[in-house]
Amino acid sequence: MAKKELSVHERLVELFKLQQIDSQLDEIQVLKGELPIEVSDLEDEIAGLETRLAKLEESKKEFDTTISQHKAHMKESEALIARYAKQLDDVKNNREYEALTKEIELQKLDIQLSEKRIAEADVNIDAKKEVIKAAKDKLKQKNKDLENKKVELDQIIAKTEKEEAKLKKKSTSHRKTIEDRLLKAYDKVRTSYRNGLAVVTVERDSCGGCFNKIPPQLQLEISLEKKVIACEHCGRILIDTSVSEEVPA
């Protein structure tokens, strides 16, 4: 369905109405402040910490497994030493004696190596425990911060959600009355400035957005409303105060 053809004056009125509505929506976003971003960032950070904790716990388990394997190996070596020692009582020649003695020495070396590996694993486990504790403490604090931020954000949303929904509906409705070319220009300017002002009045011979002086001839053209005029400095759409006075605050 084609949009109704509006006069320049009607276009300017609708644009200013839209600006008023969108500015009220902006005020709600300002009220929320950085809370939505902070909540999102905290959720990402918590997810990262949980992943890191899982990897640290897995790494610690690997060291525990290493210790268990070396302890089992030590028991095997001790059993072999006991068996070889018993066999020494029944040796019949020096060659058998030397062979058994050598096996006993090898098993003792294996035990020493396992003891060394266990000691190294214990050191690594202690280090991992400290890192895990620090990570858990940090995670606990971040979860607490997130909970507080969510409560704060939820309170603001509870106060503003009805008004925000109403304003969004009005904004959508007003957009349908404005031609696409003007709407595109309006949105482009709005996103270019932090205050979101795309339609401003001429105040004290200056642009109400960037405060640069507006030449008298251009002010006259603006008041005559023969075409939509934008500020040559900031690109905002300029309207006469008579237009703004038609729109309730």
DSSP E strand boundaries for 21-126: none
The 10s digit of each residue's pLDDT in 67-97 is: 999 999 999 999 999 999 999 888 888 898 9
Q: Which of 7-11, 73-77, 129-133, 182-186 has the lowest mean pLDDT?
A: 7-11
| One fold for 8-31+179-246 and 33-161 | yes
Query: CATH number of the domain at 33-161, please?
Result: 1.10.287.1490
Tokens 């954000």, residue located: 153
Residue 153 neighbours by CB under 8 Å, 6+ apart = 32, 35, 36, 39
Taking Cα atoms as reference points, which of 17, 8, 9 lies closest to residue 175? Answer: 17
Residue ranges covered by each domain of the chain: 8-31+179-246, 33-161
Q: Domain 8-31+179-246 has what CATH class?
A: mainly alpha
The 10s digit of each residue's pLDDT in 233-247 is: 999 999 998 888 877
CB contact burial 158-170 (16+ within 10 A = b; e otherwise):
eebeeebeebeeb
Own/partner long-range contacts of 45-48 (Cβ < 8 Å, ≥24 apart)? 45/142, 46/139, 46/142, 46/143, 46/146
